[in-house]
Amino acid sequence: MKKLASLATAGLLLALAPLAAFAAEGQKEAKHISFAHEGPFGTFDRQQLQRGYKVYKEVCSTCHSMRFVAFRNLAEGGIFTEEQVKALAASVSVKDASTESGERPGLPADHFPSPFATEDDAKNANGGAVPPDLSLITKARPGWYGTFNQLVNGIGGPQYVYSVLTGYETAPAELAAEAPAGKHYNPYFGSGHWIGMAAPLTPGRVVYDDKPEGYEATVDEMAKDVSAFLSWTAEPKMEERKQLGFMVMIYLAVFSILLYLVKKKIWADQH
Ligand code: HEC
């Protein structure tokens, strides 16, 4: 009995343990913004994913790889048509040792090419900091902490990315003095306040295809769109998962009603 009790306690403690490590000292909790794909019935906003892809392609891809995503995934996810994906893939050149030049235009089956050949190259080009691969970043970085908080609000991965992109501030006077060379003050960054990435977005940096000519996209919009896109890259099958979960719930509900009716019938003459 004692053993059982201690097992139960251990289980309870395990369940209450934070899902992720604690926040870095002084790290600000990510801004609470909402996305179309959140909640039990949320689906991705395809137009937003198209814009987010453009932001990744034109801005982030110069430094950050996205190794786990192939061009064809964009068609499978219903973000672009097969024709569009062919054209997008063909617009980049990928390494291929079997060709004479060692390179060829991309095909839909190719994964996104990495901007740097080795980690050392990436480090050298970025003042010693390695730009992490972005494929799974919204699953790898929580925006806030606490088991209950994460259970109710999700881990806040896309909010973390959004907050880092929009979170550059002037360093408080007491910290400004110790600013490391080439680093920028950003209290949302998960590894201390100083980030080795200069603010990558500026107003109008990306021209949106679904907006009228001359429209100047704000940093806020671009940050939100690319964060939504990175939620999709981290879990492209999210909608199927939610749908399946919903079907299972309906099935269980119907099954419970049937069981109840059967039980009533079997025991009818016993009352
Ligand atoms: C000029 C190169 C460069 C560009 C462009 C760039 N980044 Fe970064 N990024 C970096 C580097 C370098 C780091 C690592 C910083 C560090 O560790 O101090 C980083 C870090 C990050 C982080 C924090 C990751 C973590 O470890 O918590 C996120 C999120 C991020 N970048 C997203 C983006 C997005 C989204 C874009 C496009 C809008 C982008 N970056 C554009 C170089 C870049």
80-98 pLDDT, tens per residue? 999 999 999 999 999 899 9
d(CA 51, CA 173): 37
* Residue-level pLDDT at 178: 86
* Residue-level pLDDT at 1: 59
Residue type, 177: A
Distance 114 CA to ligand 1 centre (A): 14
Ligand 1 probe mutation, 63, 166, 185, 230, most atoms within 8 A of CB: 63
33-43 pLDDT, tens per residue? 999 999 889 99
Distance 232 CA to ligand 1 centre (A): 18
d(CA 246, CA 256): 15
Is 51's pLDDT higher than 60? yes
Is 9's pLDDT higher than 90? no
Q: Is the CB of 62 under 6 A from ligand 1?
A: yes
* Residue-level pLDDT at 19: 47
* Residue-level pLDDT at 5: 73
* Residue-level pLDDT at 131: 97
Contact 224, 33 (CB under 8 A): yes
Contact 203, 166 (CB under 8 A): no
d(CA 38, CA 182): 36
Residue the block writes with tokens 């251990």: 10
In the structure, what pLDDT confidence band is assigned to residue 50 with cuts at 50, 70 and 90? Answer: very high
Ligand 1 probe mutation, 56, 64, 166, most atoms within 8 A of CB: 64
Look at ligand 1, atom 40, and give the residue with the nearest C-alpha: 60
**Residues ≥6 apart with Cβ < 8 Å to 73:** 233, 236
Task: Name the burial class of residue 201, with classes exposed (0-12), middle (13-18) and buried (19+) by CB atoms within 10 angstroms of its CB.
Answer: buried
d(CA 253, CA 237): 25
Distance 150 CA to ligand 1 centre (A): 24
* Residue-level pLDDT at 179: 87
- Average pLDDT for 48-65: 97
pLDDT over 90, % of the chain:
81
Q: Is the CB of 89 under 6 A from ligand 1?
A: no
Q: Is the CB of 59 under 6 A from ligand 1?
A: yes
Tokens of 218: 């704000």
Ligand 1 probe mutation, 161, 197, 222, most atoms within 8 A of CB: 197
Is 195's pLDDT higher than 90? yes
Contact 126, 193 (CB under 8 A): no
* Residue-level pLDDT at 271: 63
Length of the chain (residues): 271
Distance 152 CA to ligand 1 centre (A): 28
Distance 175 CA to ligand 1 centre (A): 22
116-130 pLDDT, tens per residue? 999 999 999 999 999
d(CA 11, CA 33): 33
Look at ligand 1, atom 13, and give the residue with the nearest C-alpha: 131
Is 186's pLDDT higher than 50? yes
- Average pLDDT for 7-12: 69
In sign, the C-alpha dihedral spanning 182, 185, 189, 191 is: positive
204-253 pLDDT, tens per residue? 999 999 999 999 999 999 999 999 999 999 999 999 999 999 999 999 99
- The CA angle 238-242-244, to the nearest 5 degrees, is 115
Is 167's pLDDT higher than 70? yes
* Residue-level pLDDT at 118: 93
Pick 270 or 79 by higher pLDDT. 79
Distance 29 CA to ligand 1 centre (A): 18
